[in-house]
Structure 1
Amino acid sequence: MAVKIGISACVLGDKVRFDGGHKASTFCTQQLQPLVQYVAVCPEQAIGMGVPRPAIRLQRDTQQQIRLVQSRDNSLDYTEQMLDYTAQMLPRFAELSGYIVCAKSPTCGMERVKLYDTEGNALGKLAVGVYTRQLMQAYPWLPVEEDGRLLDPALKENFVSRVFACHDFQKTMRDGFSIGKLVAFHSRYKFLVMAHSPVAYHQLGKLVAEAKLFQPAELQLRYLTELMQAMRNIATRKQHANVLQHLQGFLKKLMDSAARQELAELINRYRCGRVPLLAPVTLLQHYLRLYPNNYLQQQVYFNPYPEQLGLRA
């Protein structure tokens, strides 16, 4: 089962933008592409807008509705066409594990898209692209990120973590949901969730413990949605260090004092920003090979995504 990610076609390098250009992302086309299956979409081109084409923008009308109009002539309104196209496409996206959209676009922008009034005056970066807004409303659990934000290492690592966690959940439940599968999945993700949100760690644990109170479909959707919301929080050094200390606690009785001190000092050096996360994680994995622990070895925290992405280095 491939990891399917929706993506704005221009971000893959397709020359479909209004000016005939593209916004190719090196990360998407070189690092991530060998590991995923992209579903490329240009909604503007899909509704018949040519390349090149007049620019479009988001406009708030007199009824406070946001419309998608041509910049030069706001009587040319593409809103209904875009909404109809998006409605047709949404059912095809149920199996996606993530979506990368083009920043600032009046159709695809995820946030801070420019909004104008009917006179052409800028009201600020207040809007969300018409296409992406419908996408996020239909699939509130879906990891969505903008190409520009993926230049930030923390945001990039966060998005990739969410994508592979979402895919793992989808793959686990592919042949049918069960409480047993949910318990096993949650057990593997405990420490990764703790790194992102200690509060959500307890909330999700309570949800799983009360699983029999919910209908299966409701429970499946609620767990995935809350998991993805929890993982949107950027894991801090302090939270990672807390998780690392918890993991060390499982092995401390098996390690001699020198080994315990070495690991504790490395965790502290990571907490203080002197070494990357990969350093204490690698040392912990070394001790796990010496002192096998089935529960810890199943933890996704150690390998939340393919190692070749190098995001923890």
Structure 2
Amino acid sequence: MAKKEEIPVLEVRNESTVEADVGEAGKIPVGLSACLAGYEVRYNGGHSQSRLCLRTLSEFFTFRTFCPEVAAGFGIPRPTMRLSGSPEAPRLTLSDDASVDLTDQLMNAVNPKLDEFDGLDGYILMKNSPSCGMERVKIYRDNGYPYDEKGSGFFAAALMEKYPLLPVEEEGRLHDARLLENFVLRVYAHHNFRQEVLAEPSHHKLIQFHSSYKYVLMAHHQQSPRDLGHLLADAGKQPLGTLVQEYFEAFMEAIKKPASTRNHTNTLMHILGYLKKDVPAPARQNILDTIHRYRQAEVPLVVPLTLLSHYIDQAGSDYIRAQRYLQPYPQSLGLTNAI
């Protein structure tokens, strides 16, 4: 019989806070709801361990874990809580007694912690939680029935307000192949921008970054490479700090949604154009046929990407080899196998 895999168990002192690193140094830092890391911090004393996070993403991310409800001193186990009141101004209350308002107690614990997440490049949250749910969290009326409108958990809302450019997703949504691929792409892009531009800002570094992400941008939004190019062309008209921030905001917004098959196809065709002088016509036709097969959903994206990369390695220019569209994250993740 195979040995049962052990999960990490966190000792919670005074039931006040949960903070730990899961993973090794040198990987990309990403926040993670503590229950998803296997810590027994849920209301019932259990966990919601994520195999996706701990067995797949942990190879590339180092996780900073946090449980806002434990940080607020609600205890383990604890009564269930939910969002109550109006959708415009919900409160955190006990599920069986909406008169017990726990909002301030939670936020007084959360707000001092937010600054500690400044070095993260992404965050993965527990769905449906009144504290950690990113979206679609039920808000209950005084009569006990939920509104049609949904909200966000208090910690999730505060996190996204303080770090609007940070890639944030719910673990449940990451089981959708396109959402997972897009989240990981955004995490790596966010990390690369911080390391390559924000660490020591300069016009040159900003232009280099934009150049390497040109076709990633094209795959997500056809107009964004031109718009951001115009922004950089007018770089001398505003202070460098302002330009960097404006570019970062526009860049992260442009890649926020998964790229469509149509946009991927268009991007692949543009890249193929760089091979027309140095790759024989039969080989180019083979690549073109493979791109069309991808467009018709006969093969996944990895097939035309691999074929293009093969010929670019042989005959491509330095410029096209440097395009991160060809490998925006480690290939061993296998994300383009499923889209």
Could you state the TM-score of these two structures normalised by the residue count of structure 1? 0.96
1:49 corresponds to: 74
Gaps of 5+ in 2: 1-25
**Residues 16-42 of structure 1, C-alpha deviations (whole Å, 9 max, x = no match):** 111222222111010001211111000
1:9 paired residue number: 34
Aligned position for 1:248: 272
Offset of residue 90 of structure 1: 1.4
Distance 1:96 1:215 in 2: 26
Deviation, structure 1 residue 55:
0.5
Name the amino acid aligned to 1:27.
L
What residue is the counterpart of 1:277 in the other structure? 301
**Deviation at residue 211 of structure 1 after TM alignment:** 2.1
Match for residue 104 of structure 1? 128
Query: Is the aligned partner of 1:117 residue 2:117?
Result: no
How many angstroms does 1:60 deviate by? 1.7
Whether the aligned pair in 2 keeps the contact of 1:111 and 1:127 (CA below 8 Å) is yes
> Residue 26 of structure 1 is aligned with which of 51, 61, 69?
51
Q: Is the 8 A contact 1:43 1:82 kept in 2?
A: yes
Paired with 2:319 and 2:230, the residues of 1 have a C-alpha distance of: 20
> Displacement of 1:64 after TM fit?
5.1
- Cα separation, 1, equivalents of 2:246 and 2:184: 21
Residues in 2 aligned to 1:70 and 1:102: alpha-carbon distance in whole angstroms: 19
TM-score, with length taken from structure 2: 0.88
Q: Is contact 1:116-1:124 (8 Å) kept? A: no
Match of 2:112 among 88, 108, 116: 88
Following superposition, the deviation at residue 262 of structure 1 comes to: 0.8
**Residue in structure 2 matching 1:171, options 192, 195, 210:** 195
Counterpart residue number, 2:324:
300
Change (3 A) 1:195 1:64: closer
Structure 1: runs of 5 or more not aligned: none
Which secondary structure state, in structure 2, belongs to the residue aligned with residue 76 of structure 1?
A: strand
Contact 1:99–1:143, Cα closer than 8 Å, also in 2: yes
Asked whether the equivalents of residues 71 and 110 of structure 2 are also in contact (C-alpha less than 8 Å), the reply is: no
How many residues of Structure 1 are paired with residues of Structure 2 in the alignment?
312
Please state whether the residue corresponding to 1:86 is helix, strand or coil: helix
Q: CA-atom RMSD, angstroms?
A: 1.5
1:269 touches 1:275 (CA, 8 Å); kept in 2? yes
* Deviates further, 64-73 or 290-299: 64-73
CA contact (8 A) 1:7 1:99 kept: yes
Contact 1:197–1:233, Cα closer than 8 Å, also in 2: no
1:220 to partner: Cα distance? 2.1
User: How many percent identity over aligned positions?
Assistant: 41
Asked if 1:233 is matched to 2:257, the reply is yes
Superposed CA deviations along residues 285-307 of structure 1, whole A, max 9, x for unmatched, are 11112213100111110111111
